[in-house]
Amino acid sequence: MSQKIEHGFAVNTETGEVSDIYIQKDVSSQNFWKIWLSDILTVLGIISNSKQLDVVLYVMAHIKQSDNTFVGSYDKIARECGVSKRTVITTMKKLLEVDFIRRVQNGYYQVNPKYILKGNENKRRMVIDYYNTLDSYPKNDGKKDPNEN
């Protein structure tokens, strides 16, 4: 836990005297989503329209906090986002190509903790280590993705 000091002013309403005040706060990174904006913007640079962005935001909103995983078939994502299955397929392929997500198995993905994670730095390092050792499905093995139908 770290401490943050904020500077402010207090005004005595009777005399009009202005005083400097300093507020010391304990700051914990335990319960916040951390998004590394420069990295996320790089990933979002591959998104070509708002419907694809809807898919990315859906994935981000459904990340399991304990291990950064996401579960969802292309059909379910399309239905819940109100987009075509083709849009989901295109977007998910792009996210796989730029390593924003990694397919653990069909319909089961882990979001790269380099980009987004809930927790502190220790958790981030642990999840990154795990992510880097994952054996994911090959990205370009020439086989059709079973989720595509």
Q: Which of 19-28, 47-56, 134-143 has the lowest mean pLDDT?
A: 134-143
First to last CA, the chain: 49
Q: What is the pLDDT of residue 85?
A: 97
Query: With bands split at pLDDT 50, 70 and 90, how would you rate the model's confidence at 76?
Result: very high
Determine contact, residues 74/92, Cβ cutoff 8 Å. yes
Has residue 1 got a pLDDT over 50?
Answer: yes
* DSSP-derived secondary structure for 98-140: TTSEEEEETTEEEE-TTTEEES-HHHHHHHHHHHHH--PPPSS
Q: What is the mean pLDDT of residues 8-27?
A: 73
Which DSSP category does 64 fall into? Answer: B
Place of tokens 């809930």: 118
Which residue bears the tokens 């989503």? 33
Chain segment 36-63, per-residue pLDDT in tens: 655 665 666 777 777 888 898 899 889 9
